[in-house]
């Protein structure tokens, strides 16, 4: 059985409550069937469930906490086996999974950003980021074969073309060699395929995040590809398209991340 004409989006929304209008705009302009969000920044009781249901997403998996992190999946399709997962001995909310009606398992992740100093000996946040990758790598290595999609803000730009300047960012958190090694180990542990680079040539620059601090983000174009969509190899034939919706970075009161859209065919 295929994954008939499903459109999936992943987006670090940087506060769901501050950006309900952006979800509405995404629904109008791209109409994804499933929207995976990161950095919802709200405890579950205060999540805008009704507003999301009103624009066509009655099925919701919400795994959040006060002020920080938080993931959510909004869907036109029913969601089953909704689970939240904890990592590194913390009770924060960075990983959830659901199963779609076609049996495909979707994992939605927000990997720790890692702070500013890329040294685990002096920066606990960076140590946490590396630990998180190691635990994920071990876990995915132990999972049986299945039909799975993993999306989210992985906070690593792995390729030279995933950043505006490979040379200038080699010591900047998100593009250091040790992070890229950890990212690659996690990817390889389950044979994940990068669905976006499946369509966009690795020689071509591609970003999904542009800092708020740039005077003119579009003109400067100092981006990084921090957001990813991975699929198990048995789904690569079902991939129809993958794009970064760069326009959304320029929408009113934007997130600093753009959504990624991936289409699956029959």
Partner DNA sequence: ATGGTCGATATTCGA
Residues contributing to the site for DNA (CB under 7 A): 14-15, 17-18, 39, 41-42, 66-68, 112-115, 125, 211-213, 253
State the number of CA atoms in the 13 A half-sphere of 153 facing the CB.
29
Shortest spacing between CB 86 and DNA, in angstroms: 16
Shortest spacing between CB 232 and DNA, in angstroms: 28
Compute the radius of gyration of the chain from its Cα atoms. Answer: 17
Rounded to whole angstroms, how far apart are CA atoms 155 and 133?
11
Q: Which H or E element spans position 7?
A: strand 6-12
**Distinct helix (H) and strand (E) counts, the chain:** 6, 14
Rounded to whole angstroms, how far apart are CA atoms 118 and 248?
30
Chain Cα centroid distance, residue 59: 19
Closer to DNA by Cβ: residue 117 or 266: 117
Closer to DNA by Cβ: residue 4 or 122: 122
- Judged by DSSP in three states, 1 sits in coil
Shortest spacing between CB 179 and DNA, in angstroms: 14
Closer to DNA by Cβ: residue 39 or 263: 39
Q: Would you list the DSSP string of 102-166?
A: TS-EEEEEE-----S---TTT-HHHHHHHHHHHHHHHHHHHSPP--EEEEEE-----SGGGBS-H
Closer to DNA by Cβ: residue 114 or 223: 114
Kindly give the pairing relationship between strand 193-194 and strand 223-224.
Answer: unpaired
Closer to DNA by Cβ: residue 15 or 234: 15
Rounded to whole angstroms, how far apart are CA atoms 113 and 261?
22
Shortest spacing between CB 244 and DNA, in angstroms: 18
Shortest spacing between CB 42 and DNA, in angstroms: 7
Closer to DNA by Cβ: residue 129 or 147: 129
Shortest spacing between CB 37 and DNA, in angstroms: 13
């Amino acid at each position: 059985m295929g994954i008939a004409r499903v459109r999936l989006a992943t987006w670090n929304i940087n506060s769901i409550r501050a950006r309900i209008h952006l979800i509405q705009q995404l629904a109008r302009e791209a109409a994804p069937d499933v929207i995976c969000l990161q950095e919802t920044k709200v405890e579950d009781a205060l999540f805008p469930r009704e507003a999301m249901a009103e624009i066509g997403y009655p099925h919701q998996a919400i795994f959040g906490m006060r002020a920080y992190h938080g993931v959510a999946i909004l869907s036109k399709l029913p969601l089953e086996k909704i689970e939240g997962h904890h990592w590194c001995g913390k009770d924060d909310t960075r990983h959830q999974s659901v199963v779609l009606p076609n049996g495909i398992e979707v994992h939605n992740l927000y990997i720790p950003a890692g702070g500013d100093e890329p040294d685990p000996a002096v920066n606990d946040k960076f140590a946490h980021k590396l630990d998180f990758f190691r635990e994920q790598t071990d876990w995915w290595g132990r999972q049986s074969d299945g039909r799975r999609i993993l999306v989210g803000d992985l906070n690593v730009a792995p390729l030279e073309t995933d950043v505006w300047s490979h040379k200038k960012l080699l010591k900047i958190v998100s593009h250091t060699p040790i992070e890229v090694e950890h990212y690659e180990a996690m990817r390889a542990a389950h044979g994940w395929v990068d669905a976006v680079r499946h369509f966009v040539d690795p020689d071509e620059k591609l970003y999904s995040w542009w800092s708020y601090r740039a005077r003119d983000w579009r003109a400067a174009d100092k981006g990084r590809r921090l957001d990813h969509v991975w699929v198990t190899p048995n789904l690569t034939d079902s991939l129809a398209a993958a794009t970064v919706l760069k326009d959304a970075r320029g929408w009113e009161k934007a997130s600093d991340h753009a959504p990624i859209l991936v289409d699956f065919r029959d």
